[in-house]
Amino acid sequence: MDRSSLRSRPSVIGRRGAPMLAPENTIMSFNKALQQRVSGFHADVTISADGVAFLMRDRTLRRTTDVARDDPYWTVRFMSVKERGRAANQTVCSLVELLRLAAKTNRSVMLNLRRPPPQHPRHEYWISDALKALQRSGIQFDQVEEEKVSSEEFKGRGTRAVSLHYSQATPTEIRRFSGGNVSVNVYPVNEPWLYSLLWCSGVQSVSSDAPHILRKVPQPIWLMTPDEYCLIWIMADLISAAVIIAIFIFQRWRISGMRSYNPEQIMLSAVVRRPSRDVNIMKEKLIFSEINNGVSSTDELPLYTDHRYEEFTCDPVPR
């Protein structure tokens, strides 16, 4: 695409903060994300048995609090001693704490609400519990869809944003939503090449576990105009055709220089072929055998004495 048609850089949203730099869904993780200049936070919300909304991705705390592992977050070796102490003292973050931090730093928040299981005491009140926390913070909120529907349906629902997994975010779908004035967020985006591809596709924001990596991507890592793209394909086709023609000419030249044999001749020639020394020895044996059998007279053959040939000439017969 042309640089003139390239849209502005997609904003980066810290997915569970910056989990590659600090324990996920903790205040420390969200502060680390702020240091990487994220535009907002993306978190998972669940409801406790007493109706408190808090941040948690898994059903249990085993994965993020398993102290039996040497490096539960895969980043301990990059932390200083002071940071390790802070990480050890982190507590489960409530939704109210996250909203207060977002309001203080003027950041947006994207929440995934998880309904408790049927046996949970707050199974029927989970939405009201989350809304209470939102109203207490004073932050305005909008609904974000996670399914692909038509722009008319989005308008009917009053939805202005959609969040899609990167495997579902095709360039065609992104352009369709953008044309309908629907903001598109894609998750999870942790690699520069994927971020560059979505940038060229026109997304407005991405949710990332690695905001510190995407921060180092000031422009798409690969960008070319349609003319450059066509030129590359034409050159590739011409080079491929030249290689094929060269191989064809070489094969014709190689085949034309070979003698034509049928399979029996090739086998016989391979069987009777002998080294030159063996051929000489066989000739000598044949000569001795003819002498011993008296096939030739001494007047017709040269004498062989002391490993030398002694020849004599006969006078021509007078006419």
pLDDT tens-digit readout, 133-146: 888 877 777 778 77
The Cβ-side half-sphere exposure at 306, using a 13 Å CA radius, reads 1
Q: Is residue 246 part of a domain?
A: yes
Mean pLDDT of the chain: 80
**Would 252 be classed as within a structural domain?**
yes
Q: What is the pLDDT of residue 245?
A: 94
Same domain? 122 vs 152: yes
- 132 assigned to some structural domain: yes
pLDDT at 151 over 50: yes
Number of other CB atoms surrounding residue 21 within 10 Å: 25
Instruction: For residue 87, report the phi and psi dihedrals to the nearest 5 degrees.
Output: -65, -35
Q: What is the pLDDT of residue 257?
A: 66
CA distance 222 to 199: 11
In this structure, the answer to whether residues 237 and 306 fall within a common structural domain is no
254 and 264 both lie in a single domain: no
Regarding whether 160 and 43 lie in a shared domain, the answer is yes
Does residue 245 belong to any structural domain of this protein? yes
Structure confidence at residue 82 (pLDDT) = 87
Domain boundary residue, one of 214, 248, 280:
214
The residue from 147, 182, 214 where one domain ends is 214
Among the candidates 214, 248, 276, a domain finishes at: 214
Residue the block writes with tokens 């007047």: 299
- Is residue 79 located within the same domain as residue 208? yes
Query: Do 78 and 179 fall into the same domain?
Result: yes
pLDDT at 94: 92
**254 found inside a domain:** yes
Residue range(s) defining the domain that contains residue 249? 224-258
* Same domain as 207, residue 91: yes
**299 part of a folded domain:** yes
Per the structure, the count of domains in the chain is 3
Question: CB count, 10 Å around CB of 114?
Answer: 15
164 plus 133 within the same structural domain: yes
Percent pLDDT > 90 in the chain is 33
pTM of the prediction? 0.67
Report if residue 248 sits inside a domain.
Answer: yes
- Predicted pLDDT at 158: 72
Q: Which residue has the higher pLDDT, 91 or 237?
A: 237
In a domain, 44, yes or no: yes
- Asked whether residue 120 falls in the same domain as residue 14, the answer is yes
264 in the same domain as 192: no
Same-domain check for residues 168 and 264: no
**pLDDT tens-digit map of 152-189:** 777 677 778 889 999 988 888 888 888 878 889 999 99
* Burial (CB count within 10 angstroms: exposed 0-12, middle 13-18, buried 19+), residue 275: exposed
Q: How confident is the model over 39-66, as a mean pLDDT?
A: 85
> Which CATH number is 96's domain given?
3.20.20.190
Beta carbons of 177 and 169 less than 8 angstroms apart: no
Same domain, 188 and 49: yes
